[in-house]
Amino acid sequence: MGSFSIWHWLIVLVIVMMVFGTKKLRNIGQDLGGAVKGFKDGMKDANGESTDAPAAPAKELRDAGTIDVEAKEKSRQQ
């Protein structure tokens, strides 16, 4: 009863694919990969290494048709 050969692992893989199906196994792999990526990003943030670009100022995000509520309220008070 030594270690398993490649044929044993191939048979186990075929049985697992028959039980779960390839779509479910692919979804599990994507979820696991996303979790690992999120964990790595969290570890980088904890160490102070931020790779994200700085946030854009709010004025650049507004479109020309937007009325600033604060300016409207200030003009009413005066």
Cα–Cα distance for residue pair 57/77, rounded to 1 Å? 27
CB 47 within 8 A of CB 39: no
Q: What is the pLDDT of residues 12-60, one digit of tens each?
A: 989 988 888 888 888 888 999 999 999 999 888 877 755 555 555 555 5
Contacts of 30 by beta carbon, 8 Å cutoff, 6+ apart: none
pTM across the whole model: 0.40
Q: What is the pLDDT of residues 25-34, one digit of tens each?
A: 888 889 999 9
Please give the torsion angle defined by the CA atoms of residues 34, 39, 40 and 41, in that order, rounded to the nearest 10 degrees: 90
pLDDT of residue 66: 56
- Quickly state the pLDDT bin for 10 (edges 50, 70, 90): very high
